[in-house]
Structures are given as structure tokens and as C-alpha cells.
Amino acid sequence: MSTRRALLAVAGAALALTTTAACGSSGSSGSGAGQPAGAVSHKRIELITGVKSDPFYITMTCAAQAEAKAKGLDFTADGSAQWDVSVQRPLIDSVGAAHPDGLMISPVDTEALTPSLRQIQSGGTKIALVDTSVTDPSVGITRISSDNEKGGQVAADALAQQMGQKGSVIVISVKPGISTTDARIKGFTEEMGKYPNIKVLPTLYDNDLPATAASQIQSTLAAHPDLGGVFAGNTNTGQGVATGLQQAGKQGQVKVAAFDAEPDEITALRNGTLQVLVAQDPAAIGTEAVDQLAAAFEGKPVQASIGTTMVAITKDNLGDPQIAKYVYKASC
């Protein structure tokens, strides 16, 4: 889920879509004269992201593009317009027909796309699973993501302190069956068990729609006046929760921990609508995936699993350059 993810506002989405497309096309001339010495020539990598207008995936795409260029690899990128199997499947089918040497993909479901990915893999394309994954361990030569369960734990501890370790708390997330957000929920709810005076309400799912999250938080406030905290499982949910709290006049009273560090979330952190952001490192995910595919092309060892860093960002530490570097990009 920013990762996880529905379309942003029309104007913003259009800009981001254009930017991401530009990222993909501009990195497509890696072989030939001027290619770095020792690079793997004439190898093509395609990237399919979860939602291509999302700054999390834009940040990943930009980093992957730069790394592919540095290694002399051809690189193109595309992504779903929304977090939906029916939208991502045609992109996967297109890759299957094109037979690239490598595929980086953030599958939007842990099961439904596995047969297509197996078929692509059996055709000789090496697959790197980035951010999200599938349950079949035979798919992919490498899996690169954040430790999302740990991220949920970090969010729980930070939110408990913000709440004074009392009251009710709720998780609002995308939908069941997404590897990353499922792990975040697991880590959060288990860690909250350490705080006996905090009641964890049943998890709600907004189908990655900010408007739904806004409505859900308002309904929860009406049913649970002691609501003291919300854990938003991804960017769009965080945006929706922030909007719902503002509309209910509860901004800053109900504490919010959200995943990711996209531009809108940083604004919400500064104005006090969000209190904690658990930032991932999508740039490192993109870079590592290109590196692992390049190693596989050269017959070198490949790391089967790579976890990337996460940091907790607050209003107080946002000015630290070592923290600020984790803020996501809206364009390359």
C-alpha cells in the first residue's frame, strides 16, 4: 500500500500516471554504446506495480529505472489503475506474450494471479516479487519487501503511547488477502495485546477507497465514543481516516498511525491530522530487485528474501535528514 491502493484525485492521478509512464519509457535504452563495462547486455526487465499513480510505486519505479540504466539493462514499467485482480491480469498477460528476461511485479492478490505467474516463469522469465508476494513459494527467484509485521508492531507501540495506553482502537485496511496489509494487521493486533487498557475493535476494510474509510471512521466514532486511536493500513486509508476525523471535529483528539510517507500524508503529519507514519523504503525495494535480476542473468547467487528498512516518522523528527530521505516521491 502509499503500500496497497485506489486512484487519487483526478488531476493528481493524471499527473502521476504521466510521470510513471515517463519513468518507464525513459529507461528503455540501456544497451549499446556507452553501456557500463561488465553490464548484462540485451536483457529486458519489465515492472508491474500495484497502482502506478501511487507515490510509493512511483518512488520504486524511479529507483529501479536508475539502477537498470546504471547496469545497462532495458527497463519499462506499467501498473494497475487500481488495486484489482481484473485490472492487473491483462498487464500480466501482456508480459507473458512479450517474454521479457525479467519481471518485477507487485501482485495485488496472494493467490488469484499465481497460475499466470507460473506460466510466465516456465517460459524463461525470471520473476522478482516486490512489495507484495504470492503464497506459492515456487514463484519468483527473490522476494523483496518491508517487514510488514514488524511495521504493524511499530505502529501499535507508537499509537499506544499517543493514546496514553487506554481507550478503544480500530484497524481500517484495504481488503483481506493482500500479503503486506495482512501482515501489518497481524503485527499490530498482536502487539496491542501488551496494552490491557486498550480495546481492539474488529478490523474494517475499505476496499482501498478513502471515502469509504472516512465514512467508516465516522460510524465507529458514533458507536464507540471512547475511540482513541486508528491504525490505517495504507496510504489511501490514512487519507480517508484523516478526512473523516476532520469532518467529525476529532482531528488530533483521535490519534492516527498510518503506513507510508506520501506527500499528502506528510502534509497531514505537519498539520496534526496524523501523528505517526511508518515509512517503508520503496526505492531500496526497486534497486534490490534490479540487482537480483541482474545477478541471475549473470549466473551469480541470488538472495531469495530481502527485507528493507522502515522508520517511524513524527512531526518532531521529520526535519532530520536521515528520516526525511524516506519521504516518497510524486515524480522522478
Domains in the chain (CATH in brackets) are: 10-146+281-309 (3.40.50.2300), 148-279 (3.40.50.2300)
Which has the higher per-residue pLDDT, 5 or 258?
258
Q: How many CB atoms lie within 10 A of CB 274?
A: 29
Least confident of 32-36, 62-66, 170-174: 32-36
Among 58, 80, 69, 64, which Cα is nearest to 28's? 69
Is 309 within 8 Å of 284 (Cβ atoms)? yes
Is 309 buried (19+), middle (13-18) or exposed (0-12) by CB count in 10 A? exposed
Given the DSSP bridges, would you call strands 198-200 and 142-146 parallel, antiparallel or unpaired?
unpaired
The pLDDT value recorded for residue 8 is 32
Please check the confidence at residue 60 and state whether its pLDDT lies above 80.
yes
CA 200 to chain centre: 24
pLDDT for the residue numbered 273: 85
Reply yes or no on whether the pLDDT at 239 is more than 90. no
Taking residues 73-89, what's their average pLDDT? 93
Which pLDDT does position 144 carry in this prediction? Answer: 96
185: pLDDT strictly greater than 60: yes
pLDDT of res. 24: 39
Q: What is the pLDDT of residue 208?
A: 87
Taking the CB of residue 258, how many other CB atoms lie within 10 A of it? 32
Give the per-residue pLDDT at 32: 35
Residue 47 has phi, psi (to 5 degrees) of -120, 130
Q: Grade residue 41 by pLDDT with cuts at 50, 70 and 90.
A: low
Residue 268: what pLDDT? 85
Q: What's the pLDDT at 124?
A: 96
For residue 301, give every residue at least 6 positions away whose Cβ sits within 8 Å of its Cβ, in sequence order, or none: 295
Structure confidence at residue 264 (pLDDT): 84
pLDDT digits (tens, 9 = 90+) for 136-181: 999 999 999 988 899 999 999 989 999 999 999 999 999 898 888 8
Give the pLDDT band of residue 12 (cuts 50, 70, 90).
very low
> Which of the residue ranges 16-20, 115-119, 139-143, 151-155 would you say has the lowest mean pLDDT?
16-20
Q: Is the model's pLDDT at 70 over the cut of 60?
A: yes
SS (H, E, C) the chain: CCCCCCCCCHHHHHHHHHHHHHHHHHCCCCCCCCCCCCCCCCCEEEEEECCCCCHHHHHHHHHHHHHHHHCCCEEEEEECCCCCHHHHHHHHHHHHHHCCCEEEECCCCCCCCHHHHHHHHHCCCEEEEECCCCCCCCCCCEEEEECHHHHHHHHHHHHHHHCCCCEEEEEEECCCCCHHHHHHHHHHHHHHCCCCCEEECCCEECCCCHHHHHHHHHHHHHHCCCEEEEEECCHHHHHHHHHHHHHCCCECCEEEEEECCCHHHHHHHHCCCCCEEEECCHHHHHHHHHHHHHHHHCCCCCCCEEEECCEEECCCCCCCHHHHCCCCCCCC
Predicted local confidence at residue 212, as pLDDT: 96
| Amino acid present at 284 | A
Q: Is the pLDDT of residue 282 over 70?
A: yes
pLDDT band (50, 70, 90) for residue 1: very low
Task: Characterize the bridge pairing of strands 227-232 and 255-259.
Answer: parallel
pLDDT of residue 40: 65
Identity (one letter) of the amino acid at 13?
A
- For residues 33-40, average pLDDT: 47
User: In terms of pTM, does the model score above 0.75?
Assistant: no
Q: What integer pLDDT is reported at residue 162 of this predicted model?
A: 92
